[in-house]
A and B are shown apart, each in its own frame.
Chain A
Amino acid sequence: MALKRMFCLLTGICMLLTSGAAWSAEIHGRSSTQYHWFTDYVTGNKQAEFGEYLSVSVTKIDQAGKLSIQGYGRLTQDVLNGQGLNARLYYLYGDYSNLYNKVDIRVGRQFVNSAAGTALIDGGKIDLKKVGPVNFSIMGGRNVIFNLDGEASHGEDFVWGVSASLADFKNTDAELSYFMKLDTAGIARDQFGASFKQYLLNSLKLYSNTRFDMASETFSELLVGVKYYPTSDLVFTGEWYQSYPIFDNSSIYSVFAVSRYQEGVFRADYTINDKVSVNAGYSKQFFADEGSDADVFEIGTRIRPIEKVQLNLNYDYRNGYNGKLNGGAFEAIYEPIKPLELACGVHYDVYERDRITGRETARKYWLGGRYKINKNMNASIRIEDNVNRQYSSDWSGRLVFNYNF
């Protein structure tokens, strides 16, 4: 099914491109042709694939420039193990904006968001703008679910939702929304969502969002936060978050008792100057019962010692319920000459899920380079070696040729 849609997308694009000369519409996008090789985690076999990622944006289709078409998808072909063709259509939708200066209409596969729920749908979304101080939105369609190898949606998977939000207030955002998900058993999920944001005193931001699950009559998520930014380069963040695991009503797990998870976060992000920025944070995690909590510390920095070099370093340390994790990532980016970018990095983690599994180490080393051939074309290569519990050395990588049109 996905394959057919992918071919429809490609055919449509070709038709648009070939007719472009006699048509005033603007067509832009990117073709990213890739060859990548890796080890299939389950079978342990080496695998190599050609992939074509195509994103396209068609604008100014009508005189007023209100209609546009956006699409993005990929097609891959395995060349080693006979796994054949695989496709994924991320989105393909037509967008008509500002109908009567009030209504935006979007039809097709698209990513939709609201405080109550998020989904990738084959359907439509209609925004009704500025009815007094309020925007309204309604969306619905087939629920698109991806698994590792393709689409896993069934015929009865649908979602729909409505929302009302404050329109165009500079310092205040507020939204109330409803989201329903349907599957073979009936109503899989129905929940209300709300979000709120308020800027105060030129240096404070208060924000909150929540989801209320109707079946369990529980606030499945609740976040309350404050940001304090005395300067444009320094931000302090404090958050309190709690959630309950929530399951589709069609899952047997929806009838089981569950425990609350809570998390407190404090962090600071500081851009010292054009060359150095730093961040540090601490999270306390609570897993319901006494003694089952965890502490997470993290620090990071981005350094640009000279114009052509950038260094990024992140480290975090977690200790407590459900294991220890101690590690980070380093990457360096260097531009020796304008069209050439070289990069390399290391990931290093030491982790211990519990005393039975013991302490283990995972490392990843990677190296890459990109050359900008001209304004529209660039080519890149990236290789990595994974050294971990499963592999003493596991090489993978990709070759990429990008063409922007």
Chain B
Amino acid sequence: MKKIIFIVAILGFGLICLQQKSYAEKKTAHAEYKDMAIRECNSCHKSEGIAPNHDSDFTRSHKELAGKTGNNCSQCHEQKFCLDCHAGGDTGDNLSLSKFGRDSKPKSHRSDFISIHPIKAQDNPQQCYRCHDAVAFCNSCHSRFPKGNLRIKSHMMTGPSGQKYSFAIGEHATEARRNLQSCQTCHPEGDVCIQCHSSGKTRPHPRNWKSGNIKDRTNGKMCLKCHSPGTF
């Protein structure tokens, strides 16, 4: 631990030394350059030592630039630039823009995204929720399908006629740990989980479980879903 602190301290000191020169230099206001071609922007960036951006990686990586206080996106873009992708807007500019119903889709939602999204949704557990609310959005579609109608791998082990976990195979524990968010899309209240995981049966909590944190934040309401009053 001491070694790590020492290395971090050395690195920090080095960065501060390198930074001294630039303390006197200020960020450039970008509003007057907003109509410039990206290539010209990046040429200037490079000469100033700033990384080129708005390149072909921008859709994936823009969070690093935009997802912070004091970003300078608004110097060139109105908020609709963000919300056309993040909230389904459509300014009618982009011919390649496709829609799902009345909402526009970003390019990352390719071809038949309804069918592909079970693969994509599990890539990064946080990715979907940068634009979609976990319960409100996912469940507004998933809840319309009859139970047993979706083709979920871990639910199909017992045969096509009914979707039930095959406990003997024991797959549901590892699948749930990896992709618990996908359980929430069809079972927003977790009713099927509580059937077994309520008090005294199968403990669902992680090893370093801090029960007080949830208890304090929900006035114990969450604990009462499984535990009797006074037992937690």
Query: A363 contacts B210, CB within 8 Å?
Result: no
Query: A356 contacts B151, CB within 8 Å?
Result: yes
* A245 CB contacts on chain B under 8 angstroms: 125-126, 179-181
Number of A interface residues in the complex (CB < 8 A): 154
Give the distance in Å from the alpha carbon of A207 to the alpha carbon of B78 in the complex: 25
Query: A114 contacts B69, CB within 8 Å?
Result: yes
Give the distance in Å from the alpha carbon of A363 to the alpha carbon of B98 in the complex: 13
Given contacts A250-B222, A349-B110, contact A235 B18 (CB under 8 A): no
B80 at the interface (CB under 8 A from A): yes
A96 at the interface (CB under 8 A from B): no
Label chain A's interface by main secondary structure. Answer: strand
- Mind listing 18 A-B residue pairs with CB under 8 Å? A90-B80, A120-B83, A169-B27, A170-B48, A201-B18, A203-B46, A209-B68, A233-B39, A233-B52, A247-B180, A252-B193, A252-B194, A253-B190, A255-B214, A263-B123, A271-B39, A322-B118, A356-B151
Query: A235 contacts B110, CB within 8 Å?
Result: no
Query: B83 contacts A235, CB within 8 Å?
Result: no
Residues B160-180 near A (CB distance < 8 A): 174, 176-180
Give the distance in Å from the alpha carbon of A261 to the alpha carbon of B189 in the complex: 24
* A114 CB contacts on chain B under 8 angstroms: 67-69
* B15 CB contacts on chain A under 8 angstroms: 172, 198, 200
B200 at the interface (CB under 8 A from A): no
0/1 string, A165-199, CB within 8 A of B gives 1 = 10111111101010000000111101000010111
* B228 CB contacts on chain A under 8 angstroms: none
* B86 CB contacts on chain A under 8 angstroms: 111
A364 at the interface (CB under 8 A from B): yes
0/1 string, A380-393, CB within 8 A of B gives 1 = 10101010111000
A111 interface neighbour in B82, B124, B125, B194, Cβ under 8 Å: B82
Given contacts A190-B217, A235-B55, A259-B177, contact A247 B68 (CB under 8 A): no
* B106 CB contacts on chain A under 8 angstroms: none
How close is B100's CB to chain A, nearest CB, in angstroms? Answer: 8
Residues B45-93 near A (CB distance < 8 A): 45-52, 55-57, 61, 64, 66-71, 78-80, 82-83, 86-93
How close is A182's CB to chain B, nearest CB, in angstroms? Answer: 10
Given contacts A254-B214, A259-B178, A261-B125, contact A349 B111 (CB under 8 A): yes
Residues B193-222 near A (CB distance < 8 A): 193-194, 197, 204-210, 213-214, 217-219, 221-222
* A177 CB contacts on chain B under 8 angstroms: 69
How close is B169's CB to chain A, nearest CB, in angstroms? Answer: 13
| Chain B residues engaging chain A, CB cutoff 8 angstroms | 15, 18-19, 22-23, 25-28, 39, 42-43, 45-52, 55-57, 61, 64, 66-71, 78-80, 82-83, 86-93, 95-103, 107, 110-112, 114-116, 118-120, 122-126, 130, 133-137, 139-141, 144-145, 151, 153, 156, 174, 176-181, 183-184, 188-190, 193-194, 197, 204-210, 213-214, 217-219, 221-222, 225-226
Given contacts A175-B69, A396-B99, contact A402 B92 (CB under 8 A): yes
* B206 CB contacts on chain A under 8 angstroms: 216, 256-258
B79 interface neighbour in A90, A227, A248, A294, Cβ under 8 Å: A90
B119 interface neighbour in A274, A300, A325, Cβ under 8 Å: A325
* B90 CB contacts on chain A under 8 angstroms: 32, 34, 51, 53, 74
Query: B69 contacts A285, CB within 8 Å?
Result: no
Given contacts A229-B46, A249-B217, A348-B111, contact A235 B153 (CB under 8 A): no
* A250 CB contacts on chain B under 8 angstroms: 218, 221-222
0/1 string, A86-129, CB within 8 A of B gives 1 = 10101100000000000000000011011100101000000100
Query: B56 contacts A302, CB within 8 Å?
Result: yes
Stretch at the interface among A1-9, A10-18, A19-27, A140-148: A140-148
A160 at the interface (CB under 8 A from B): no
* A360 CB contacts on chain B under 8 angstroms: 115
Query: Which 10 A-B residue pairings sit nearest by Cβ, starting from the closest?
Result: A362-B112, A252-B190, A232-B46, A152-B136, A32-B92, A257-B206, A368-B95, A388-B112, A347-B111, A202-B49
How close is B204's CB to chain A, nearest CB, in angstroms? Answer: 5
How close is B99's CB to chain A, nearest CB, in angstroms? Answer: 7
Query: B43 contacts A232, CB within 8 Å?
Result: yes
Query: B111 contacts A36, CB within 8 Å?
Result: no
Query: A146 contacts B87, CB within 8 Å?
Result: yes
How close is B75's CB to chain A, nearest CB, in angstroms? Answer: 12
* A74 CB contacts on chain B under 8 angstroms: 89-90
* B23 CB contacts on chain A under 8 angstroms: 169
A289 interface neighbour in B51, B110, B116, B174, Cβ under 8 Å: B174
Give the distance in Å from the alpha carbon of A171 to the alpha carbon of B28 in the complex: 11
In the complex, which residue of chain A has the Cβ closest to the Cβ of B98? Answer: A384
In the complex, which residue of chain B has the Cβ closest to the Cβ of A166? Answer: B70
